[in-house]
Amino acid sequence: MPASSTSPPIWLAEWMQAHGISLWGAADVRGFVTPADHTGHRFPIALSWAIPMNPQIMASIQNGPNQAYADEYARVNGLINELSVALAAEIKDRGFRSLPLAASDRTDPVNIKGDFPHKTAATRAGLGWVGRHCQLITRSFGSWVRLGTVFADIEIPCGPPIERNFCGNCRRCVEACPAKALKGTAWHPGIPREELLDVRVCDQWKKDRYFQFHKGHNCGICSAVCPYGLRALKKKSDGRSRVRPDQP
């Protein structure tokens, strides 16, 4: 979990450790429109975590997705959904409200988005920043991760949020995008998605060319070429990385 002046609840830290989650944190999402629970109430806190993808598989899709990537994508999303449901149940058992957010669930097909951006929770929890490829980049794993989110009303230290990007002048993902859907704009909190990505061009390109992989939901080229991911591939992974993403 990112550094904080106050420690998180021991039970939560132990839960994360028991489930092999090394990169996680809490986000203050007051001021954002979160999904509501069955009573119609929204949530002040989002617990966010990252599950790394297989780095060898990610490095293999720099020229386009393959079946191994599609299988890994489905496996990690399935794991995230299982963990989200389990964590939400744990929180409820302790007397708090909670709501899991499904991984990669496109609930608004017209605007091509889900109920809440996992990346918003992750950046506000201090896990990383959003790159020019419109994906979260972490120091530990680059952008080769999938994100989990559970909303709750527990009291827990949050953030600090990441409020700048660390991509510098790199445009590797923009240049690699075969659909030319990436705008090349540097991210900052609150920037509209449309200034980073033409989501309809991206979506149509995948459907036209990669429909065999989850009906065109998979590509991954922009993430595969990200230097932060390639750098992580070269590091010895011990599963205990707690590097703060706001460090240079």
For 181-197, how does the pLDDT look when each residue is reduced to its tens digit (9 = 90+)?
Answer: 999 999 999 999 999 99
pLDDT at 126: 98
> Within a domain: residue 240?
no
Q: Which residues pair with 145 in a beta bridge?
A: 52
Per-residue pLDDT, 3: 38
Q: What is the dihedral of CA 83, 42, 190, 106, to 10 degrees?
A: 50
Q: In this structure, what token pair is assigned to residue 5? A: 């002046």
Range of the domain at 130: 10-234
Number of domains composing the chain: 1
Alpha-carbon gap, residue 60 to 206, rounded angstroms: 17
Q: Residue 160 has what pLDDT?
A: 96
- pTM (two decimals): 0.90
State residue 112's pLDDT score: 86
Distance between CA atoms of residues 96 and 2, nearest Å: 23
Does residue 210 lie in a domain region?
yes
The residues of the chain scoring below 50 in pLDDT are 1-5, 236-248
Which residues is 136 bridged to in the sheet? 130
Q: Is residue 239 part of a domain?
A: no
Give the chain's end-to-end CA distance (angstroms, integer). Answer: 18
Output the pLDDT for position 123.
Answer: 98
Q: Is residue 180 part of a domain?
A: yes
Q: What is the dihedral angle through the alpha carbons of 22, 27, 33, 37, rounded to the nearest 10 degrees?
A: 60
Q: What pLDDT does residue 175 have?
A: 98
Phi, psi for residue 43 in degrees, rounded to 5: -125, 145
DSSP reduced 3-state for 209: helix
Q: Is 247 among the domain residues?
A: no
- Each residue of 64-97: b (16+ CB within 10 Å) or e? bbbeebbebbbebbebbbebbeebbeebeeeeeb
- Pair 33, 41: CB distance under 8 Å: no
Q: Where are the beta strands (DSSP E) in the chain?
A: 24-28, 45-52, 98-101, 129-130, 136-137, 145-152
In a domain, 245, yes or no: no
In a domain, 246, yes or no: no
Asked if the structure places residue 248 within a domain, the reply is no
For residues 45 and 32, what is the distance between their CA atoms, to the nearest angstrom? 10
Q: Which stretches does DSSP call E strand in 5-116?
A: 24-28, 45-52, 98-101
